[in-house]
């Protein structure tokens, strides 16, 4: 009588792969999610959490989501849709990011600028209160139309407020030429440490006043003409910026 050999030990990895989600289309074999790219794995986890959030809301419960750097692995259009869905389902949503695009999806009063100065952490809102109805058009553009550029500048170590939009554009163009030219070998760290604000309508005074509430190192760049002299005098009187540069 032939004796039966004992069954081989179960391959736990194979079992886990068999019950794990698989992705496939009509023409390809299914592939376990763990063998997909990081982007797809991140999306899978996020979609599961969104489904869980929807169930909690339907049952009358609450749901708070803390999300770290959602810009990773996702194109901008998907980032926008996912954040909108998160805010719709969550009682509270906390997002940490280095992306100005992600930051711009939040209202300025809900956007906290976190800084680490010599080991001391501080978090201040981009705006302490919603914009007043009579606020100048230049300031309104700063926090609404150009919120992405403003958020990017506020993430820098120092913030430079030029006198007008033209000054912002030529500085931005000059930085691109210098930093990207010659394969990036030119030793210019200006753009790595200083963020330039897209000032509108020569609102340099009120722009400095608004941004200095959220950033400790705001400087102004004004022309050397008569108007620039007037801006300098007003800034000195208001004491809303750390330095005034005239050229």
List the chain domain ranges.
Answer: 130-247
Cβ-contact 179, 194 below 8 angstroms:
no
Q: In what order do the strands lie in the sheet with 243-246?
A: 194-196, 158-162, 218-222, 243-246
Confidence of residue 161 (pLDDT cuts 50, 70, 90): very high
CB atoms within 10 A of CB 83: 20
Strands, E, within the chain: which ranges?
22-23, 31-32, 64-68, 92-96, 112-117, 120-125, 158-162, 194-196, 218-222, 243-246
The verdict on pTM exceeding 0.85 is no
Distance CA 3, CA 18 (A): 31
Check residues 34 and 234 and name the one with the higher pLDDT.
Answer: 234
Check residues 125 and 67 and name the one with the higher pLDDT.
Answer: 125
Q: Write out pLDDT tens, residues 125-134.
A: 999 999 988 8
Q: Is the pLDDT score of 222 beyond 60?
A: yes
């Amino acid at each position: 009588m032939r004796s039966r050999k004992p069954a081989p030990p179960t391959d736990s990895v194979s079992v886990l792969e068999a019950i794990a989600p698989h992705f496939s289309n009509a023409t390809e074999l299914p592939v376990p999610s763990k063998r997909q790219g990081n982007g797809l794995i991140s999306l899978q986890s996020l979609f599961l959490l969104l489904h869980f959030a929807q169930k909690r809301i339907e049952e009358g419960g609450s749901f708070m989501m803390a999300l770290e750097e959602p810009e990773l692995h996702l194109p901008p259009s998907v980032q926008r849709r996912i954040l909108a869905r998160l805010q719709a389902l969550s009682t509270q949503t906390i997002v940490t990011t280095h992306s100005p695009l992600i930051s711009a999806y939040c209202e300025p009063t809900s956007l906290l600028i976190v800084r680490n100065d010599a080991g001391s952490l501080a978090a201040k809102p981009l705006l302490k209160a919603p914009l007043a109805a009579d606020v100048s058009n230049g300031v309104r553009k700063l926090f609404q139309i150009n919120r992405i550029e403003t958020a990017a500048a506020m993430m820098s170590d120092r913030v430079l407020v030029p006198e007008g939009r033209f000054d912002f554009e030529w500085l931005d163009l000059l930085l691109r030429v210098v930093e990207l030219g010659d394969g990036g070998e030119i030793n210019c760290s200006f753009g790595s440490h200083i963020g330039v604000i897209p000032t509108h309508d020569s609102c340099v005074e009120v722009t400095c006043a608004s941004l200095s509430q959220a950033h400790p190192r705001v400087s102004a760049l004004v022309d050397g003409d008569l108007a620039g002299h007037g801006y300098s005098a007003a800034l000195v009187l208001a004491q809303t910026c750390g330095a005034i540069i005239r050229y």
